[in-house]
Amino acid sequence: MADHRPVVVIPTYNEAENVARIIPEIHAAVPSMSVLVVDDGSPDGTGRIVEGIAAGDERVRLLSRAGKQGLGTAYVAGFKDCLARGHDLICQMDCDFSHQPRYLVDFLREIETADVVIGSRYMKGGMTENWPLRRKVLSKGGNLYARTILGLSVTDLTGGFKCWRREVLEGIDLYTVQAGGYAFQMEMNFRASRLGFRIKEIPIVFPERVAGESKLGRGIFWESLGMPWRLRFGAPRRR
């Protein structure tokens, strides 16, 4: 039977300190929301925690994968699962509370007049909290770099807090997504724009994580550096 409730996809790797806290906060904000956690074989037991929650709450599901395979592929696997189950509105967010569950209410309201809603740290009203200067410079510089190459007006191309209509994900064709890491965010935004879908940004406050460790690495940096050029000259347009 198709599940037409809104759903949020949360990729995890070693988020045991956060996952048991964030699921109740999601349901406090949107009681009807389904939660799909895509766990990459976390050795800290993240998957087992989610299994325990899911055993007593039919709104929660776990998609387990063998080993750490990357953020982009985790989202693609989660999106495919949600589309197969009939979800019409599919959100995505991090597990570390840098994406605050209270904003899900705003996403579901704004998606009524858009095809994609993006939580922006860099539009008026948005901001980051407790970030070191180096991270601020890299993030803002990376966004400007990608926006310039891709010719997009989206202020936060690399942000990962979003809501999609199923038609957008079906139109993009998830089997052709190239990025495996954090460049996945800019690829999905660019391809949605190239296909003519309505993109809307809303301001969010993005605090630094308070538990667990960041998954950013050198390989992610180099993928993000090259991806705008690959997209500009290789992404499919609507026929």
8 A C-beta contact, residue 30 and residue 104? yes
**For residue 118, pLDDT beyond 60:** yes
Domain ranges of the chain: 7-234
**In whole angstroms, what is the distance from residue 208 CA to residue 68 CA?**
23
Amino acid 109 reads: R
Q: What is the pLDDT of residue 239?
A: 30
Across all residues in the chain, what is the average pLDDT?
89
Write out the E strands in the chain. 7-12, 34-39, 60-64, 89-92, 116-120, 127-129, 162-165, 199-203, 205-207
pTM score above 0.75:
yes
Which residues are bridge partners to 201 per DSSP?
A: 118
Residue count of the chain: 239
Residue 87 binned pLDDT confidence (cut-offs 50, 70, 90): very high
CATH number attached to the domain at 7-234: 3.90.550.10
8 A C-beta contact, residue 126 and residue 205? yes
Q: What is the pLDDT of residue 237?
A: 44
Tokens 């202020």 belong to residue? 155
Paired sense of beta strands 89-92 and 162-165, if any: antiparallel
Per-residue CA distances from 9 to 162, 218, 222, 232 (Å): 10, 25, 26, 27
Give the least confident one: 61-65, 84-88, 140-144. 140-144
Higher per-residue confidence, 19 vs 146: 19
Q: What is the pLDDT of residue 209?
A: 66
9 alpha carbon, distance to own chain's centre: 7
Contacts of 51 (CB under 8 A, 6+ apart): 62
